[in-house]
Amino acid sequence: MPHLLAAEALRARPALLGAARHPATPEVKEFSQRARSETLRRLVENGVYRCMDAEGLRVFLGNAAKWAAKSWNAEQSLLGRIFNRLTLSHPGYAAVPGTIFQQLQKLVGERYDDVDRCTTYLLRADIIAVYYDLLSDAREQSDG
């Protein structure tokens, strides 16, 4: 997993952000292009991520951890902070769709019935790394 600069400062932040519910799907007659795009994105995410196997989850988490760590490490320099302000809202976090977060909670034996599949959650980079390590360990045990 990527090395995190100032890891203690990142760990002082909340482990989970977001969980803001998407607005209810408007009537078809009220669909703007933006609402239509958002609804289609949610439908595709729910369909694609719902059937993801353990290896797909591991790859997704590896990429998410890499990007979250990269944004957090960039936050440690002035130019990196400027870049993050222009491109990101939460450095050190990665967006995880609710369907994936629900699968992760199920894998580690945590309660998952209150996770909304249509919500995008923001997970801290070190938490993502823990999930990634758990999936990697499970893969090694099943292989060997």
Pairing type for strands 93-97 and 120-124 reads antiparallel
What's residue 139's pLDDT? Answer: 77
Provide the pLDDT confidence category of residue 79 given band limits of 50, 70 and 90.
very high
Is 32 a domain residue?
no
Hey, what are 77's tokens? 């320099």
Is 36 a domain residue?
no
Total structural domains within the chain:
1
Cα 123 to Cα 127: distance, rounded to the nearest angstrom: 7
> Over the stretch 88-116, which tens digit does the pLDDT of each residue have?
778 888 888 888 888 888 877 777 778 88
Hey, what are 116's tokens? 């909304």
> Over the stretch 22-66, which tens digit does the pLDDT of each residue have?
333 333 334 456 665 665 555 555 555 566 787 888 889 999 999
Is 3 a domain residue?
no
Is 21 a domain residue?
no
Buried b (16+ CB within 10 A) or exposed e, 60-97: bbbebbbbbbbbbbbbeeeebeeebeeebebbbbbbbb
User: What is the residue range of 144's domain?
Assistant: 53-144
CA distances from 113 to 123, 124, 130 (A): 18, 21, 21
Is 139 a domain residue?
yes
